[in-house]
Amino acid sequence: MQRRTVLLTLASAALAACAPQGKPQFKAVDITGADYAKDFSLPDTDGRMRSLKDFPGKAVVVFFGYTQCPDVCPTTLTEIAEAKRLLGPLGSKVEGVFITVDPERDKPELLKAYVANFGPDMVALRGSAAQTEATARDFKVYYKRVDGKEPGSYFMEHTAACYIYDPQGRLRLYSRYGSGAQALADDLKLLLQQA
Instruction: Identify whether the C-beta of residue 67 lies closer than 8 Å to the C-beta of residue 109.
Output: no
- Does 23 belong to an annotated binding site? no
Beta-carbon contacts of 52 under 8 Å, excluding residues fewer than 6 positions away, are 39, 40, 60, 165, 169
For residues 72 and 160, the answer to whether their CB atoms sit within 8 Å is: yes
**Kind and range of the H or E element at 157?**
strand 154-158
* Strand-strand pairing, 29-30 and 171-176: antiparallel
Q: Is 62 exposed, middle or buried (0-12, 13-18, 19+ CB in 10 A)?
A: buried
> Which residue(s) pair with 158 in the sheet?
143
69 is in an annotated binding site: yes
158 assigned to a ligand binding site:
yes
Q: State the angle between helix axes of 181-194 and 72-86 in degrees (0 to 180), rounded to the nearest 10.
A: 50
Element of type H or E holding 45: none
Q: List % helix, strand, coil for the chain (3-state, nearest 5).
A: 40, 25, 40
Annotated binding site for Cu cation: 69, 73, 158
